[in-house]
Chain A
Amino acid sequence: MSAPPLVERITEWLRRNVLASPVHRFGWASLLLLIALAVAPTKDFFNQWRHYQRQYKKFISTRSDSATLQHHFTPGIQQIWLPELAVVDRCTTCHLAVTEKTLQDASSVPEPFRSHPPVAHNVKDWGCVVCHRGQGPATEVAEAHNTTRAWEEPILPARYLESSCGQCHRAPLTGTPQLNLGRNLLGRYGCVHCHTIKLPDGSAVQPTDNPPSLSHIADKTTREWIYAWLKDPQAYAVSATMPNYKLTDADARDISAFLVANSTPVAGDSAPASGTGNKDQKAPDPTAGASLYGESFCASCHAVQNAAGNIVGGDLGPELTRIGNKAKPEWLRAWLRNPRIYDPETAMPHYRFTDPQVSLLTAYLGNKTDSDLLANVHLDAATPEQIAHGKRLTVEYGCAACHEISGIRKPDNFAPELTRIGSKPLVQISFLPGMKHSTPDYIAAKIRQPRSFGPGLKMPQYGLAPSQIDALTTALLALTDRAQDLPLVWSVPAKAPSSYQPAGKAGKLISDLACFSCHAINGRGGDMAPDLSWEGTAVQRQWLQAFLKNPGTLRPALIRRMPQFNLSESDINELTDYMMTAYQTPAFDRDSMPSNAYPPAELEQGKQLFYSKYACQACHIIDTKVDKGYVGPTLTQVGSRLNAAWIYHWLKNPQALQPGTIEPNRNMDDEDARALTAFLMTQKGSGQREAKK
């Protein structure tokens, strides 16, 4: 009831004061316009970034170095633009002091004003989002750091930060152990058998796990073992990389039935003459078996679980803790005699074991059993339906993506491609209820428990440690759109894999002995043992011959040792000839320095230099009674092992001959290097020490 008079009163007031005359009207309209126009600047004045810049000015005014900091400070929106990477980065608008060295201290400098800890790149050149992700162009905290409706890239959690390095750097970096490990695991756990990961150069990441062929598996093991293995691979071997497919009893039964029925005997793997009669003979001595296992350095590649539960030994070959449960004695015998007949591509060397040695090792390994493993496995004879069902399951689970199985084609792109997984848009990801909506969390959860994302998913369960899951997640997060679309000049590729294969008879021997499993030559091979690319320049012929006959360790502190392969005289000569001829450095001539007849004064000077100026005894041993250097090779026989020219050039620059060796470059002058070479060449070992003149 009281409303109309109020409206009337206001209208009346407006009419009298505001709309009284054109001048009034114009004045009031101008005022309104001015207020409207002032909204934007006011909003701008209260912007978050202005707030931080005001705070920063206040903060630096309290410090003793405020003049310098004030001088470096430029007000306004700061922007780093990297057109080649399509990056616009305004983070330094609030993170004003990222390069101020004096603002490092966490206890006295509040965020966002702290300077960036030192990294390999200049932060002012690269900005923040290339490494930390987030929305570069944003000027509000929430929009810059978190996902918004407009932008999808949140800040990367610090635990996965190394992944950002991996966008450009394909080669391993000293500062990124987690990324390096993750990339290694992608190959070692065979992730890339099923998931394709393409590199910007068009090649694909290759697996390094070499899963065995199943085409002849019935030669090797029993259906019961296959069943138990399929049900839980880690129950057989804790360190097994085969994942758990969580198969039902019936499915494991049918797959094992199919694999056994599908298996064909290996051609040429005839029953050995001495093998059959062995059972009637008395059991071989187990201690002799154990010592042969030790002498053959099986543990360099194979591990066993000891009583304390620790895995002891190398990881190049499969764990042998329960090998007696798995391998049939006939197969084991044939395998030990020549593994290349069953698997031509195996990393296992062809030891030239004698028949008694084969029997001894077969018996020793056959006793490595766990009575519980197969105790409850009772399988009835397989029916044709079961075998057919097993075949369907084998196809369905993609077994042939990793294993060769005769009659089943290796599936292409069996699992989703991961080439750009690190940039997968959040809208395309189906998160689990209660899960944080972020790509890293999704990837980590997928690796941790793949099947938790829904029934019927095929990805198996891996028994990875939390640190391994983080490492894999880091490696996968490096696979971004940016990594793929990077201009070539920005990318630092890994060394291209080498397919070097030595030719001729020696080449066959090198393959047969699987030298590449441990040694690298011309870019191909393992890193367990020294690179042999220039071995022919380094060592003397007689030493190499003697070493191949009876290998020893050159370093007192090294456990791993090269096996002795029982090579024949002609094989040794073949290998020695080849290595001495083919594996030479182009940098200098092996025979350019004499091996003897250095002047005594030079020898004496060399000795002085060895013990005083260069203190080589810190790491090396010349005199076993006095020296204790346990780091480098023992040098008591170096004069009969290495060539003088090699020693000389090594002393001048060790890294030039073996990149990455830890022996420091001493920047030695020619005279010192020559004197030391002379002294070292007199170290011929106790047996053949030359009389000094």
Chain B
Amino acid sequence: MTKHWRTVFLVSLTFASSGCARDRGSAPTPQPTAFGATLVESSGGKQIGATGTVLAQPVVVQVNDDKGTAVAGALVEFSGSGNVTFDPAVGLTDSSGQFSTNVALGSMPGRYRLTAHTATKARKSVDLKIEEIALGYQQQVGFQLNQKYCSRCHDPESTPEQVSNYDNLEVKPHPFTEGDTLNKMSADDLTAIISHGGPALNRSALMPPYGYTLSKTDIEALISYIRLVSDPPYHPSGTAYAKR
């Protein structure tokens, strides 16, 4: 009787362990062949994408040693806030010391903090924080309106496809990322300046009124977009409802 139970136990243990082995085989964590000292972002940070979508550009990070030389074969792991997913989340740096991953944003609009992680030879943890922005429906509408109406003057970056008027203006518009200024303006202020133009707040008339062109929801959407991309991030100063 006891012998019989022992056999059953052993068989099930074998099954269980083989199951584990198979799991590990399908997604092996690669063994690093080298270690770096620092982790730097090569590209792919501060991207803007719709909630749930894969960002247009992959996020690329580079592992360097203490002399700043790229290290190939170092282990990089990505993790993120919300339900961000990475493809792949773990891997070794390539011959140029870089590791590239495709990032799918979570399903809630907002800022997503990604962490790239590597370890030094002494097992010291090295982290790099990267931020991405997810547009919900409202911010997406705001983003599209920004592309159509606002960015021609408010975006200082000029490309052959879209020449910026920013440099031509005597009074410089505030880029929407300029949180230091824009975060101090209330939603009512922003609504007033978008609807009635700069003079509504004693600012330049070079900012025309859009209150007869854009709807109220359009303007709300724009403000919601402006709040989302602001740097430093915007924190509403209104009533704090949550008791902590």
Contacts and interface: CB of A to CB of B under 8 A. Distances in A.
Interface of A: 62-65, 102, 105-106, 108-109, 114, 117-120, 157-162, 174-178, 466-467, 470, 556-557, 559, 612-615, 617-619, 628-631, 655, 662, 664-667
B137 A615 contact: no
A180 to B, nearest CB: 10
A664 B213 contact: yes
A159 B85 CA distance: 12
A65 B240 CA distance: 9
Contact of B239 (A64, A106, A617, A631): A64
A617 B51 CA distance: 38
A174 B241 CA distance: 33
Nearest to A165: B137
B53 interface: yes
Interface stretch (B11-19, B121-129, B180-188, B203-211): B203-211
10 contacts: A64-B241, A108-B241, A117-B137, A119-B137, A119-B138, A175-B137, A559-B161, A618-B206, A667-B209, A667-B211
Interface in B164-181: 164-165, 168-169
Contacts of B137: 117-120, 175
Nearest to B83: A158
B153 A631 contact: yes
Nearest to B51: A158
Contact of A614 (B148, B149, B208, B224): B208
Contact of A664 (B51, B161, B210, B244): B210
A64 B243 contact: yes
B56 A62 contact: no
B115 to A, nearest CB: 17
A177 B144 contact: yes
A628 B206 CA distance: 12
Contacts of A619: 165
Contacts of A614: 205, 208
Nearest to A105: B242
B160 A63 contact: no
Interface in B200-244: 204-213, 217, 220-221, 224, 239-244
A629 B102 contact: no
Interface stretch (B30-38, B39-47, B63-71, B106-114): B106-114
Contact of B153 (A106, A118, A618): A618
Given A117-B109, A157-B52, A178-B53, 7 more contacts: A62-B242, A64-B242, A119-B136, A158-B53, A159-B53, A662-B148, A664-B212
A174 B224 CA distance: 15
Contacts of B243: 62-64
A218 B161 CA distance: 38
Q: Which of A119, A157, A615 has the most CB of B within 10 A?
A: A615
Interface residues on B, range: 35 or more
Contacts of B209: 664, 666-667
B62 interface: no
B110 A615 contact: no
Contacts of B102: 466
B133 interface: no
B50 interface: yes
Contact of A630 (B165, B206, B211): B165
Nearest to B220: A118
B160 A470 contact: no
A106 B210 contact: no
A117 B153 contact: no
Contacts of A467: 53-54, 56
Q: Is the interface of B mostly helix, strand, loop or mixed?
A: loop
Contacts of B141: 174-175
Nearest to B109: A117
A630 B212 CA distance: 23
Contacts of A106: 82, 108, 110
A63 B242 contact: yes
A158 B107 contact: yes
Q: For B138, B160, B213, B224, which residue has the most chain A Cβ atoms within 10 angstroms?
A: B213
A618 B144 CA distance: 22
A615 B221 CA distance: 26
Contacts of B110: 106
A175 B104 contact: no
Contact of A559 (B50, B160, B239, B244): B160
Nearest to A621: B168
A557 B163 contact: yes
Nearest to A162: B50
Contacts of A667: 209, 211-212
B241 A159 contact: no
A178 B169 contact: no
Nearest to A176: B140
A628 B168 contact: yes
A629 B204 CA distance: 15
A666 B212 contact: yes
Contacts of A176: 140
B212 A631 contact: no
Most buried by B among A65, A177, A618, A662: A618
B149 A662 contact: yes
Given A177-B144, A615-B208, A118 B165 contact: no
Contacts of B163: 556-557, 630
A434 B165 CA distance: 52
A665 to B, nearest CB: 4
B145 interface: yes
B204 A174 contact: no
A176 B144 CA distance: 9
Contacts of B242: 62-64, 105, 108-109
8 closest pairs, A vs B, by CB? A158-B52, A628-B168, A158-B107, A557-B163, A108-B242, A615-B205, A665-B212, A159-B52
